[in-house]
Amino acid sequence: GADNVPHSCFIASRDGGATWKISPAAIPGTPPTSESAIAELADGSLLLTMRNEARAGTRAWARWDWQGDVLQGKWSAPWLTVPDPTCMASLIRHPHGELIFANPNSTSRRIALTIRSSTDSGKTWSAGRLLDPAGAMYSCMTVLRDGRIGILYESGTEAGLVFARFPLEWVQEGASVTTVPEARTETTGKWGWWPARHAAKVAETRSGSGEVIFLGDSITQGWETTGKAAWEKHFAPRKAANYGFGGDSTQHVLWRVRNGEFDGASPKAIVLLIGTNNARHGDFTPEQIAAGIRAILDALAEKCPRSKVLLLSILPRGADATDAMRQKCEAVNALLPALADAQRVHHLNVNAKLLAADGTLTREIAPDLLHLSPKGYDLLAEALEPKLKELLPP
């Protein structure tokens, strides 16, 4: 500004960008502001969120109401709300109408990147969902083709730039992403194989899937490669089918169950192993992860009401019982017996079969302390055999 103090405004054009006009400052006095983000509200007015250069620990906000032609209008009285460590933030309006806001949830440190929602044009905001507890700074959000929200942000760790995706439902109060079905829609890159594998499994189901379906993540998919010998020995004679997808969490399996992979299927049994990726990625509690597993069981009951389900405890990971991820998985495992009724859903914990006598997980069994070796798959198959014989009598 003319006073050599930063003030926030917006510029607008009505001729496709040939000419532009600049608005008055949203806050012509104090506090000084910078690094603003803007969103159009349902009534056409604009909401501006601004970095507060007074270092007050909160964001500055103002609303522009149009009064005729371009830049004819006025700003509302500004207000301060939402913790902020004097940092850039991002703001969008979702096609469903909700405002989505992302910034570090701290008054002094650039940490704890949090996503909030507002349904009253920014007057109030949800408590927010923690996306990244570590250092996180500048961010930019967009709405993806499938309605999920994508965010690119600067991490304070060695990760550098990070891209993450989440459904709108996760941001909304009371929702847990573990129970919200989520697909992977990329056709290139890391997950480019995922849609094609899903389509193949849908086709496999339509042509008559196996009598036993193994459903889960990379550990299940690994029966096709590292565990192939054990699979051929123990499960191929049972006409088993592998519906494991590497990287899947509960929300991905839930989407697959609800979107064709089990339509019309009626296997004698479904072996479900899922949850370790939820423990590794995100800030999910054991209760939320168990809720995601329950949602899968409920979906399977709708799709395959006559099929028995063998629910496996999350397999051990990490070198020993002091490993934080193993502890989280064990906390989930403690909740799983309650999901089984011993009639349609049966629970089985085979973890002791994979561990040494002192509770350690050796690299002979799991080379990366997570995914199984051929010997690990042999042990797992042998541990499953008695229960499968019980569930699948001749």
Same fold, 11-175 and 194-391: no
What is the architecture of the domain spanning 11-175?
6 Propeller (2.120)
What is the architecture of the domain spanning 194-391?
3-Layer(aba) Sandwich (3.40)
- Can you give the pLDDT at residue 166? 87
Q: Counting runs of H as helices and runs of E as strands, what totals does the chain give?
A: 10, 18
Residue 174 reports pLDDT greater than 60? no
Q: What are the catalytic residues?
A: 218, 368, 371
- Residues 305 and 308: their CA atoms lie apart, in Å, by 8
Burial class (CB in 10 A: 0-12, 13-18, 19+), 172: middle
- Can you give the pLDDT at residue 221? 99
Question: Does the reported pTM lie above 0.75?
Answer: no
Task: Place 184 in a pLDDT band, splitting at 50, 70 and 90.
Answer: confident
**Mean pLDDT over residues 116-130, rounded?**
89
Which of 39, 47, 90, 91 has its CA nearest to residue 65? 47
**Mean pLDDT over residues 147-171, rounded?**
87
Domain-wise residue ranges, the chain: 11-175, 194-391
141 and 164 in contact (C-beta within 8 Å)? Answer: no
